[in-house]
Amino acid sequence: MDSEENIFLQNNDNKISVKKSTFNGLIIGIIVVIGIAAFFAGSYITNFNSDQVSQEELQEAISKLELKMLQAKLPSTQPTGPVRISIDNDPIIGNPDAEITIIEFSDFQCPFCARFHTQTLPSILEEYIDQGKVKLVFRDFPIQSIHPNALPASVAAECANEQGKFREMHDILFENQNEWNRVETVDAMTLFSQYASQMQLEQEIFDSCLTNGKYIEEIKKDLDDGRIYGVSGTPGFFIGNDKVGYVELKGAQPFESFKKIIDSQLDA
Protein backbone atom coordinates (compact mmCIF):
# COMPACT_ATOMS: atom_id res chain seq x y z
CA MET A 1 0.00 0.00 0.00
CA ASP A 2 1.41 3.40 -0.94
CA SER A 3 2.03 5.72 2.01
CA GLU A 4 0.92 9.35 2.16
CA GLU A 5 3.40 12.01 3.24
CA ASN A 6 3.93 15.74 2.89
CA ILE A 7 0.96 16.67 0.70
CA PHE A 8 -1.91 19.11 0.48
CA LEU A 9 -3.70 20.41 -2.56
CA GLN A 10 -3.16 24.00 -3.64
CA ASN A 11 -4.78 25.65 -6.62
CA ASN A 12 -3.81 29.28 -7.00
CA ASP A 13 -4.92 29.96 -10.57
CA ASN A 14 -7.33 27.09 -11.20
CA LYS A 15 -5.15 25.88 -14.07
CA ILE A 16 -3.21 22.66 -14.54
CA SER A 17 0.19 23.32 -16.05
CA VAL A 18 1.56 20.63 -18.31
CA LYS A 19 4.98 21.01 -16.67
CA LYS A 20 5.81 18.35 -14.10
CA SER A 21 7.46 20.86 -11.74
CA THR A 22 4.29 22.94 -11.64
CA PHE A 23 2.14 19.89 -11.00
CA ASN A 24 4.39 18.95 -8.10
CA GLY A 25 3.64 22.37 -6.64
CA LEU A 26 -0.10 21.85 -6.79
CA ILE A 27 -0.04 19.53 -3.81
CA ILE A 28 2.33 20.30 -0.93
CA GLY A 29 1.62 19.53 2.71
CA ILE A 30 1.28 16.89 5.33
CA ILE A 31 -1.25 14.15 5.93
CA VAL A 32 -0.84 12.90 9.46
CA VAL A 33 -1.48 9.25 10.12
CA ILE A 34 -3.92 9.17 13.01
CA GLY A 35 -3.33 6.32 15.41
CA ILE A 36 -6.68 4.81 16.32
CA ALA A 37 -6.65 2.36 19.20
CA ALA A 38 -8.76 -0.69 18.57
CA PHE A 39 -11.32 -0.59 21.35
CA PHE A 40 -14.42 -2.69 21.47
CA ALA A 41 -16.88 -1.28 24.00
CA GLY A 42 -19.68 -3.34 25.46
CA SER A 43 -20.21 -7.04 25.15
CA TYR A 44 -21.66 -9.57 22.77
CA ILE A 45 -24.34 -11.52 24.59
CA THR A 46 -25.69 -14.83 23.36
CA ASN A 47 -27.88 -17.50 24.83
CA PHE A 48 -26.77 -20.13 22.34
CA ASN A 49 -26.31 -23.64 23.69
CA SER A 50 -23.45 -25.33 21.85
CA ASP A 51 -25.38 -28.61 21.85
CA GLN A 52 -28.44 -27.07 20.18
CA VAL A 53 -27.05 -24.85 17.43
CA SER A 54 -25.63 -25.74 14.05
CA GLN A 55 -22.13 -24.94 12.89
CA GLU A 56 -23.65 -22.46 10.43
CA GLU A 57 -25.45 -20.55 13.23
CA LEU A 58 -22.31 -20.49 15.33
CA GLN A 59 -20.23 -19.18 12.42
CA GLU A 60 -22.84 -16.48 11.75
CA ALA A 61 -22.64 -15.34 15.37
CA ILE A 62 -18.84 -15.23 15.20
CA SER A 63 -18.95 -13.26 11.92
CA LYS A 64 -21.27 -10.64 13.42
CA LEU A 65 -18.96 -10.23 16.40
CA GLU A 66 -15.95 -9.81 14.09
CA LEU A 67 -17.89 -7.22 12.09
CA LYS A 68 -18.66 -5.17 15.20
CA MET A 69 -15.04 -5.34 16.31
CA LEU A 70 -13.82 -4.13 12.90
CA GLN A 71 -16.29 -1.24 13.00
CA ALA A 72 -14.99 -0.25 16.42
CA LYS A 73 -11.60 0.54 14.83
CA LEU A 74 -12.98 3.31 12.64
CA PRO A 75 -12.43 6.97 13.58
CA SER A 76 -15.73 8.70 14.28
CA THR A 77 -16.94 12.06 15.52
CA GLN A 78 -20.05 10.38 16.88
CA PRO A 79 -19.92 8.87 20.39
CA THR A 80 -22.61 6.29 19.57
CA GLY A 81 -24.44 4.86 16.57
CA PRO A 82 -23.21 3.65 13.18
CA VAL A 83 -20.10 5.24 11.69
CA ARG A 84 -20.96 7.33 8.63
CA ILE A 85 -18.59 7.85 5.72
CA SER A 86 -19.64 10.39 3.09
CA ILE A 87 -19.87 9.35 -0.54
CA ASP A 88 -19.90 13.06 -1.48
CA ASN A 89 -21.03 13.45 -5.10
CA ASP A 90 -18.38 11.15 -6.52
CA PRO A 91 -18.71 8.70 -9.42
CA ILE A 92 -20.61 5.46 -8.75
CA ILE A 93 -20.07 2.09 -10.38
CA GLY A 94 -23.18 -0.07 -10.03
CA ASN A 95 -26.75 0.49 -8.88
CA PRO A 96 -26.96 3.78 -6.92
CA ASP A 97 -29.65 2.16 -4.73
CA ALA A 98 -27.58 -0.90 -3.83
CA GLU A 99 -27.83 -1.92 -0.18
CA ILE A 100 -24.08 -1.99 0.52
CA THR A 101 -21.53 0.63 -0.55
CA ILE A 102 -17.79 0.26 -1.05
CA ILE A 103 -16.19 3.70 -0.77
CA GLU A 104 -12.71 3.59 -2.25
CA PHE A 105 -10.04 6.27 -1.77
CA SER A 106 -7.68 5.67 -4.66
CA ASP A 107 -4.73 6.97 -6.67
CA PHE A 108 -4.69 6.18 -10.40
CA GLN A 109 -0.87 6.00 -10.41
CA CYS A 110 -0.68 3.68 -7.38
CA PRO A 111 0.39 0.15 -8.44
CA PHE A 112 -1.54 -1.43 -5.57
CA CYS A 113 -4.71 0.37 -6.70
CA ALA A 114 -4.17 -1.03 -10.20
CA ARG A 115 -3.72 -4.49 -8.70
CA PHE A 116 -7.07 -4.20 -6.91
CA HIS A 117 -8.85 -3.09 -10.06
CA THR A 118 -7.37 -5.83 -12.23
CA GLN A 119 -7.31 -8.75 -9.77
CA THR A 120 -10.02 -8.20 -7.12
CA LEU A 121 -12.65 -5.86 -8.55
CA PRO A 122 -13.75 -8.25 -11.34
CA SER A 123 -14.92 -10.78 -8.72
CA ILE A 124 -16.71 -8.07 -6.73
CA LEU A 125 -18.39 -6.90 -9.93
CA GLU A 126 -19.53 -10.41 -10.86
CA GLU A 127 -20.82 -11.50 -7.46
CA TYR A 128 -22.18 -8.26 -5.99
CA ILE A 129 -22.14 -5.11 -8.15
CA ASP A 130 -23.61 -6.66 -11.29
CA GLN A 131 -26.27 -8.29 -9.10
CA GLY A 132 -27.35 -4.90 -7.73
CA LYS A 133 -26.30 -5.72 -4.16
CA VAL A 134 -23.24 -3.45 -3.91
CA LYS A 135 -22.09 -0.19 -5.47
CA LEU A 136 -18.56 1.22 -5.64
CA VAL A 137 -18.00 4.91 -4.97
CA PHE A 138 -14.63 6.16 -6.26
CA ARG A 139 -13.03 9.02 -4.31
CA ASP A 140 -9.74 10.56 -5.38
CA PHE A 141 -6.68 10.39 -3.17
CA PRO A 142 -3.72 11.29 -5.45
CA ILE A 143 -0.40 11.05 -3.61
CA GLN A 144 1.34 13.76 -5.57
CA SER A 145 4.62 13.61 -3.65
CA ILE A 146 5.44 10.20 -5.17
CA HIS A 147 2.95 10.04 -8.06
CA PRO A 148 3.31 13.27 -10.08
CA ASN A 149 0.81 12.15 -12.73
CA ALA A 150 -1.86 11.06 -10.26
CA LEU A 151 -3.55 14.45 -10.00
CA PRO A 152 -4.02 15.01 -13.75
CA ALA A 153 -5.23 11.41 -14.04
CA SER A 154 -7.87 12.14 -11.39
CA VAL A 155 -8.88 15.27 -13.30
CA ALA A 156 -9.11 13.24 -16.52
CA ALA A 157 -11.46 10.77 -14.86
CA GLU A 158 -13.63 13.57 -13.47
CA CYS A 159 -13.75 15.22 -16.91
CA ALA A 160 -14.82 11.90 -18.46
CA ASN A 161 -17.46 11.53 -15.75
CA GLU A 162 -18.84 14.90 -16.83
CA GLN A 163 -19.68 13.24 -20.15
CA GLY A 164 -21.00 10.05 -18.54
CA LYS A 165 -17.88 7.99 -19.20
CA PHE A 166 -16.19 7.69 -15.80
CA ARG A 167 -16.18 3.88 -15.82
CA GLU A 168 -14.52 3.76 -19.22
CA MET A 169 -11.80 6.28 -18.28
CA HIS A 170 -11.34 4.62 -14.88
CA ASP A 171 -10.70 1.27 -16.58
CA ILE A 172 -8.38 2.58 -19.28
CA LEU A 173 -6.27 4.53 -16.78
CA PHE A 174 -5.66 1.46 -14.62
CA GLU A 175 -5.24 -0.94 -17.53
CA ASN A 176 -2.68 1.36 -19.18
CA GLN A 177 -0.98 2.58 -16.00
CA ASN A 178 2.43 1.36 -17.17
CA GLU A 179 2.06 3.48 -20.31
CA TRP A 180 1.63 6.85 -18.58
CA ASN A 181 2.93 6.52 -15.02
CA ARG A 182 6.62 7.14 -15.75
CA VAL A 183 6.45 9.73 -18.50
CA GLU A 184 6.59 13.48 -18.10
CA THR A 185 3.26 15.03 -17.12
CA VAL A 186 2.91 16.80 -20.47
CA ASP A 187 3.14 13.43 -22.19
CA ALA A 188 0.75 11.79 -19.72
CA MET A 189 -1.85 14.46 -20.42
CA THR A 190 -1.44 13.88 -24.14
CA LEU A 191 -2.17 10.20 -23.54
CA PHE A 192 -5.24 11.07 -21.47
CA SER A 193 -6.49 13.16 -24.36
CA GLN A 194 -5.91 10.22 -26.70
CA TYR A 195 -7.89 7.94 -24.35
CA ALA A 196 -10.76 10.43 -24.47
CA SER A 197 -10.63 10.33 -28.26
CA GLN A 198 -10.76 6.52 -28.23
CA MET A 199 -13.81 6.74 -25.97
CA GLN A 200 -15.43 9.19 -28.42
CA LEU A 201 -15.81 11.96 -25.87
CA GLU A 202 -16.39 15.52 -27.00
CA GLN A 203 -12.69 16.24 -27.49
CA GLU A 204 -12.68 20.02 -27.14
CA ILE A 205 -14.77 19.92 -23.98
CA PHE A 206 -12.61 17.20 -22.44
CA ASP A 207 -9.30 18.89 -23.29
CA SER A 208 -10.49 22.22 -21.90
CA CYS A 209 -11.66 20.51 -18.70
CA LEU A 210 -8.33 18.69 -18.32
CA THR A 211 -5.97 21.61 -18.98
CA ASN A 212 -8.01 24.10 -16.91
CA GLY A 213 -8.09 21.84 -13.86
CA LYS A 214 -11.84 22.15 -13.55
CA TYR A 215 -12.14 19.52 -10.81
CA ILE A 216 -9.18 20.50 -8.63
CA GLU A 217 -11.41 21.60 -5.76
CA GLU A 218 -13.48 18.42 -5.98
CA ILE A 219 -10.29 16.34 -5.70
CA LYS A 220 -9.13 18.46 -2.77
CA LYS A 221 -12.44 17.71 -1.03
CA ASP A 222 -11.82 13.99 -1.45
CA LEU A 223 -8.30 14.36 -0.03
CA ASP A 224 -9.56 16.33 2.95
CA ASP A 225 -12.33 13.83 3.68
CA GLY A 226 -9.94 10.92 3.38
CA ARG A 227 -7.59 12.56 5.84
CA ILE A 228 -10.48 13.06 8.31
CA TYR A 229 -11.37 9.36 8.01
CA GLY A 230 -7.79 8.34 8.75
CA VAL A 231 -6.77 7.36 5.22
CA SER A 232 -2.98 7.35 5.05
CA GLY A 233 -2.33 5.31 1.92
CA THR A 234 -3.97 3.85 -1.14
CA PRO A 235 -6.10 2.01 -1.82
CA GLY A 236 -8.31 2.50 1.23
CA PHE A 237 -11.84 1.13 1.52
CA PHE A 238 -14.89 1.65 3.72
CA ILE A 239 -17.62 -0.97 3.31
CA GLY A 240 -21.19 -0.72 4.62
CA ASN A 241 -23.99 1.83 4.86
CA ASP A 242 -25.29 4.37 7.36
CA LYS A 243 -27.52 1.75 8.99
CA VAL A 244 -24.94 -0.94 9.79
CA GLY A 245 -21.90 1.36 9.80
CA TYR A 246 -18.70 0.97 7.82
CA VAL A 247 -15.77 -1.41 8.06
CA GLU A 248 -12.34 -0.24 6.91
CA LEU A 249 -10.03 -2.29 4.71
CA LYS A 250 -6.54 -1.07 3.87
CA GLY A 251 -4.54 -2.06 0.83
CA ALA A 252 -5.15 -4.31 -2.16
CA GLN A 253 -6.95 -6.99 -0.21
CA PRO A 254 -8.05 -10.27 -1.86
CA PHE A 255 -11.65 -10.85 -2.85
CA GLU A 256 -12.22 -13.10 0.19
CA SER A 257 -11.64 -10.15 2.56
CA PHE A 258 -14.38 -8.14 0.85
CA LYS A 259 -16.70 -11.12 0.61
CA LYS A 260 -16.55 -11.86 4.34
CA ILE A 261 -17.52 -8.30 5.26
CA ILE A 262 -20.17 -7.85 2.55
CA ASP A 263 -21.89 -11.15 3.33
CA SER A 264 -22.01 -10.31 7.04
CA GLN A 265 -23.55 -6.90 6.29
CA LEU A 266 -26.10 -8.27 3.84
CA ASP A 267 -27.22 -10.74 6.52
CA ALA A 268 -27.32 -8.13 9.28
Prediction pTM value: 0.71
Phi, psi of 128 (to 5 degrees): -125, -55
Query: CA triplet 244, 245, 246: central angle to 5 degrees?
Result: 130
* Residue 183 pLDDT greater than 60, yes or no: yes
* Residue 21 CB partners (closer than 8 Å, separation 6+): none
Q: Are strands 236-241 and 245-250 parallel, antiparallel or unpaired?
A: antiparallel
Q: What percent of the chain has pLDDT over 70?
A: 69
Tens-place pLDDT, residues 19-31: 433 333 333 222 2
* Residue 146 pLDDT greater than 50, yes or no: yes
- The structural domains of the chain, with segments of one domain joined by +, span 2-36+74-266
CATH, domain range 2-36+74-266: 3.40.30.10
Tens-place pLDDT, residues 189-210: 999 999 999 999 999 999 999 9
